[in-house]
Chains A and B, each alone.
Chain A
């Protein structure tokens, strides 16, 4: 079945530095990947997505990289700001499925 794992439960970075949050998955049939940000007391907020026919996708200050060979996904945040402090979840689904499987989450702490 599908499973999603994260390499680090908590990531602490200095304000202004770049952050990298990693995610591993096991099911090669997964073909759609989403990163969500969840702040305290709020629901998950969409950040960026990528489909399996792509290796990289960029948004505003964020980049998602997908390595299908090793089944690894990463989220890069450039010039991390205090407002980036939150829990970040990777999530994946098979393209024809409604079922979204979430990883266990990484808490990002931004030091001033």
Chain B
């Protein structure tokens, strides 16, 4: 099973709202990732968690706040987003060490009004 599950599939929010994206994997992977993908563009890395600790933050604005409650779950908390933050947000996971396949979820399609 190489499944990464993301919820919700679609999300519409206003610029003053607070919402959260959720990601779950049960492959025993110890690294989890958030990517942002704009239309017709490749995914861009936002955050990396390794063994439940934040190891990479690609200079992401503070209105995006990641959280890794345990080794199977990854959240992305959203607050005061801008319309340009509208995108597909992808979660991925991989075994603990680098140089391994990253398995992606189907993503959350976010629209900020």
Contacts and interface: CB of A to CB of B under 8 A. Distances in A.
A87 B29 CA distance: 26
B56 A98 contact: yes
A100 interface: yes
Contact of B98 (A51, A89, A98): A98
A31 B99 contact: yes
A104 B106 contact: no
A32 B99 contact: yes
A95 interface: yes
Given A32-B99, A43-B104, A44-B104, A98 B41 contact: no
Contacts of A93: 98-99
A34 interface: yes
B90 A44 contact: yes
Nearest to B109: A41
Nearest to B49: A98
B50 interface: yes
A99 interface: yes
Given A43-B104, A44-B104, A102 B43 contact: yes
A103 B42 CA distance: 7
A51 B107 CA distance: 27
Contact of B31 (A45, A89, A98): A98
Interface of B: 2, 4, 6, 31, 33, 40-45, 48, 50, 55-56, 90, 92, 94, 98-99, 101-107
19 contacts: A32-B99, A41-B106, A43-B6, A43-B90, A44-B43, A45-B104, A46-B102, A89-B42, A96-B98, A97-B98, A98-B31, A98-B33, A98-B48, A98-B50, A98-B55, A98-B94, A99-B45, A105-B40, A105-B41
